[in-house]
Amino acid sequence: MSFVYSYASFTDNGGREVNEDSIGVFKNCDNNCYILCDGLGGHGMGDVASSLIVDVFGKQFQRTDDVVNFLGDIFPYAQKQLMKEQIARNAKRKMKTTGVAIVTDDRNAYIGHIGDSRAYVFNRNKVKERTLDHSIPQMLVLSKEIKESEIRNHPERNSLLRVLGTEWEDNMYELAAPIPLKKTQAFLLCSDGFWELITEKEMCSQLKKAKDVQEWLDKMVEIVKENGIGREMDNFSAIAVWVDNIK
């Protein structure tokens, strides 16, 4: 069984002067890499950090011959490159970013992430899997102190426990188990400025109604913008991917 992909991407400043989100889509023969990073504005130079990580992922993916192990290799490599750049720019307290990526070969999708930028996996118009945020609210959910629905409006929703650009005691990124493409309908990568303003139910509803991936993303963006009215919106970005099989 072979698979074909279509994708749409979007990024916007929201209510901020600088867009510190960066996105990238890269190909290597029939393999694909989708990457989204959200630079930490409060630390400074988040836009530089997110752009650097996307660039590193893209260049390395286009030359790799090991897609299966790519994410396990690239996250620590990208971390090292970012830390070197901090030193070169005399910016050791700056240049920090989240990162979430999906790569695909002819059988599986592989997901890796750090921070609170998310990857969602859909099948039959339902969320089958999503990455778990490296944040205080997510930890409170896992310890059953708050409900999942309370993450979006939690006062500490921007308190991250792991990011690229801080000293790592160990590899702090997280890799998901390989996801068979035959059980996958679509993927969504998005920054917190996006997922905070749209529910999973709304994502699925729009997926069911959309005629193509661009329409799906456009409708979700409309919801995010509408729900952001009257709020100081963060940068918000997303990459939507549809997977179709050819027997």
Quick: pLDDT tens for 116-128.
Answer: 999 999 999 999 9
Find, among 20, 30, 84, the residue nearest to 54 by Cα. Answer: 20
The domain total for the chain is 1
Sorted by sequence, the CB contacts under 8 Å of residue 128 that are 6+ apart come out as 121, 122, 183, 184
Sheet holding 236-246, edge to edge: 2-12, 236-246, 186-190, 118-123, 126-130
Give 140-153 pLDDT, tens digit per residue. Answer: 999 999 998 899 98
List the CATH number of the domain containing 74: 3.60.40.10
pTM reported for the whole predicted model: 0.96
Domain that holds residue 135: 2-246
Instruction: Give residue-wise pLDDT tens across range 65-105.
Output: 999 999 999 999 999 999 999 999 999 889 999 999 999 99
pLDDT at 93: 86
Measure the CA angle with vertex 164, ends 56 and 156; round to 5°.
Answer: 140
Strand 99-104 versus strand 108-114 pairing type: antiparallel
